[in-house]
């Protein structure tokens, strides 16, 4: 499913040039490098050029300086880990947006990796490079609270499905948490219908939402349209992107995204669409202020 040459190229994209034994330390190194260097994004969907999500195609995205969202990222990363000798399992999961109920609807692909603990017994770890803003490194599947940089995550039993687990997001961020089902899935085919909805349905929330997210040890960055947000120990910082040149610079420098899949004309079209939607959003905000008497 992934060749030795592709494993080497994948590792090189992560800034790793030596293939190592499948240890906990190497798993942490891989996870940290992946979330720092390969962003979570809706670029292809927003641009009207959605990609398929089978494992082979997802691996090629990673090898060609591109990216995607959870199905691509965790599908490719899980396959890389298997090739490196890790025991990997895929799980159905679901993200709980703010103001909505927990769910396991298969709109997220989760991963667990089994590692030997100090007693020599196999212990599962949550591995997830497909969220963009959590976590920075693997979390043991033991209920409790885990601090990573300035952010805290709580792991608990899922109330949605028996035997499942729930990882809650740091309260400062954009959704409440994720529930994972304990059952193992052997193929990404079970996610095909949901990917088709996200990538091609007129009702997809991402058709008109340009989002790129990146995680580092002490920060989370998110570019949504022309609004750049960063979270760190001091809180959330927000600024507006004012030009196409600044947009391209931010994408490349913060998110390692150079839009290599797009011609200059297509990049111009993406920026124009972002700007039209941004200006519409500004008008709607002004109208809302007027209706509520805020101005």
Q: Give the list of residues 6+ apart from residue 254 with CB closer than 8 angstroms, or none.
A: 214, 221, 223, 228
CA geometry: angle 254, 230, 142, nearest 5 deg: 100
**Residue 172 pLDDT level (bands cut at 50, 70, 90):** low
Residue 289 in domain = no
Residue 281 in domain = no
DSSP class of residue 68 equals B
**Residue 203 pLDDT level (bands cut at 50, 70, 90):** very high
Q: Could you tell me whether strands 144-148 and 139-140 are parallel, antiparallel, or unpaired per DSSP bridges?
A: unpaired
pLDDT digits (tens, 9 = 90+) for 65-78: 999 999 999 999 99
Nearest one of 56, 278, 222, 117 to 270, comparing CA atoms:
278
In the predicted model, what is the mean pLDDT of residues 105-131?
Answer: 94
**Residue 261 pLDDT level (bands cut at 50, 70, 90):** very high
pLDDT value, residue 165 = 98
Q: Looking at the 3D structure of the chain, how many domains does it have?
A: 1
Residue 284 in domain = no
pLDDT value, residue 227 = 98
pLDDT value, residue 175 = 78
Residue 293 in domain = no
Residue 61 has pLDDT above 70, yes or no: yes
CA–CA distance, 125 with 199 (Å, rounded to integer): 30
Give residue 90's domain range: 4-272
Residue 295 in domain = no
In the predicted model, what is the mean pLDDT of residues 90-119?
Answer: 93
How many residues in the chain?
295
Q: What is the CATH number of the domain that holds 51?
A: 3.30.2140.20
In the predicted model, what is the mean pLDDT of residues 118-140?
Answer: 93
pLDDT value, residue 282 = 92
35-49, 93-107, 153-167: range with lowest mean pLDDT? 93-107
Q: Could you tell me whether strands 235-240 and 139-140 are parallel, antiparallel, or unpaired per DSSP bridges?
A: unpaired
Nearest one of 3, 99, 61 to 261, comparing CA atoms:
61
Residue 295 has pLDDT above 60, yes or no: no
Residue 66 in domain = yes
Residue 158 in domain = yes
Residue 169 has pLDDT above 90, yes or no: no
**Residue 115 pLDDT level (bands cut at 50, 70, 90):** very high
CA–CA distance, 117 with 191 (Å, rounded to integer): 32
In the predicted model, what is the mean pLDDT of residues 13-40?
Answer: 98
DSSP class of residue 177 equals E
Using DSSP's 3-state secondary structure scheme, residue 70 falls into helix
| Mean pLDDT across the chain | 95
**What is the distance between the terminal CA atoms of the chain, rounded to a whole angstrom?**
59
Locate 226 and state its tokens.
Answer: 């022309």
> 142 φ, ψ to 5°?
-130, 130
In the predicted model, what is the mean pLDDT of residues 154-178?
Answer: 89
98-112, 147-161, 168-182, 195-209: range with lowest mean pLDDT? 168-182
CA–CA distance, 189 with 183 (Å, rounded to integer): 15
Q: Where are the beta strands (DSSP E) in 163-252?
A: 165-168, 175-185, 211-215, 220-224, 227-232, 235-240
Whether omega before 130 lies within 30 degrees of 0, making that bond cis, reads no
pLDDT value, residue 97 = 87
Residue 172 in domain = yes
pLDDT digits (tens, 9 = 90+) for 275-292: 999 999 999 988 888 877
Using DSSP's 3-state secondary structure scheme, residue 285 falls into helix
């Amino acid at each position: 499913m992934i060749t030795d040459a592709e494993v080497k190229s994948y590792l090189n994209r992560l800034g790793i040039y030596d293939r190592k034994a499948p240890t906990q330390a190497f798993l942490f190194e891989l996870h940290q490098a992946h979330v720092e260097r390969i962003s979570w994004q809706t670029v292809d969907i927003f641009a009207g050029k959605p990609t398929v999500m089978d494992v082979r195609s997802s691996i090629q995205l990673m090898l060609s300086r591109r990216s995607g969202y959870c199905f691509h990222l965790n599908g490719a990363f899980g396959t890389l880990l298997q090739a490196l000798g890790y025991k990997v399992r895929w799980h159905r999961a679901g993200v709980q947006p703010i103001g909505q109920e927990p769910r396991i609807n298969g709109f997220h692909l989760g991963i667990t990796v089994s590692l030997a603990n100090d007693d020599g017994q196999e212990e599962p770890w949550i591995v997830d490079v497909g969220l963009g803003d959590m976590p920075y490194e693997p979390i043991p599947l033991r209920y409790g609270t885990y601090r990573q940089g300035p952010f805290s995550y709580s792991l608990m039993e899922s109330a949605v499905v028996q035997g499942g687990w729930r990882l809650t997001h740091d309260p400062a961020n954009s959704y409440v948490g994720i529930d994972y089902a304990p059952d193992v899935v052997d193929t990404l085919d079970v996610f095909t219908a949901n990917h088709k909805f996200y990538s091609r349905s007129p009702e997809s929330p991402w058709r008109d939402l340009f989002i790129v997210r990146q995680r580092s040890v002490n920060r989370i960055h998110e570019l949504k349209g022309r609004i750049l947000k960063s979270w760190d120990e001091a809180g959330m910082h927000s600024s507006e992107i004012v030009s196409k040149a600044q947009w391209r610079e931010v994408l490349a420098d913060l998110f390692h995204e150079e839009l290599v899949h797009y011609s200059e004309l297509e990049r111009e079209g993406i920026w124009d669409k972002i700007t039209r939607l941004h200006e519409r959003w500004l008008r709607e905000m002004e109208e809302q202020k007027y209706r509520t008497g805020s101005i």
